[in-house]
Amino acid sequence: MERIPLYAWVAAGGALGSVGRAWLGSVVFSLVGEHLPWGTLLINVLGSFVIGWFGALTDAGGRFDVHANMRVFVMVGICGGFTTFSAFSLQTLELLQMGAIVRAGLYILGSVVLCLLGVWLGVVLGRG
């Protein structure tokens, strides 16, 4: 693990996360349409859960002792490539520009509350 440079771990994880984001986003879009960006919301909640869960499992005193590069691979690479805060921001702006103020507000509130809940649940289950 030491032979592979840190940024290669980030790049590999980021590629996996980005592909996962594109796939899951398209699946959710095909199921529920574009009325609200449900795919982005789901992706951000799942990413928040994974970073909390994996971080708690592998931090100092966690249940698993993993190499620092593995933490970077998952937490920076995969989660960074998978979650979509920039997409969230753009989609919120688009909702506001369409005059969908209430939907935009619900989307913002749902994203913040559910992502915080996701990261909290991940930490709780990771520390289990």
Q: What is the pLDDT of residue 4?
A: 83
**Which residue is associated with the tokens 């994974």?**
50
52 lies in some domain: yes
> For residues 63 and 126, what is the distance between their CA atoms, to the nearest angstrom?
8
CA-to-CA distance for 69 and 13, rounded, in angstroms? Answer: 11
Query: Is residue 56 assigned to a domain?
Result: yes
The pLDDT value recorded for residue 36 is: 86
In a domain, residue 104? The reply is yes
Reading the block at residue 57, the tokens are: 């499992």
Report whether 28 contacts 98 (CB < 8 A): no
- Domain-located, residue 95: yes
Number of folded domains that form the chain = 1
pLDDT at 90: 83
Q: Extract the tokens encoding 43.
A: 């992706």
Q: Are 7 and 77 in contact (CB under 8 A)?
A: no
Please report whether residue 1 resides in a domain.
no
What pLDDT, on a 0 to 100 scale, did the predictor assign at position 1?
Answer: 63
* Domain region containing 22: 6-127
What does the pLDDT profile of the chain (128 residues) look like in tens digits? 677 899 999 999 999 999 999 999 999 999 998 888 999 999 999 999 999 999 999 998 889 999 999 999 999 999 999 998 888 898 999 999 999 999 999 999 999 999 999 999 999 999 98
61 burial type by CB count under 10 A (0-12 exposed, 13-18 middle, 19+ buried): exposed
What gap in Å lies between CA 6 and CA 84, rounded to an integer? 22
Task: Give the per-residue pLDDT at 53.
Answer: 95
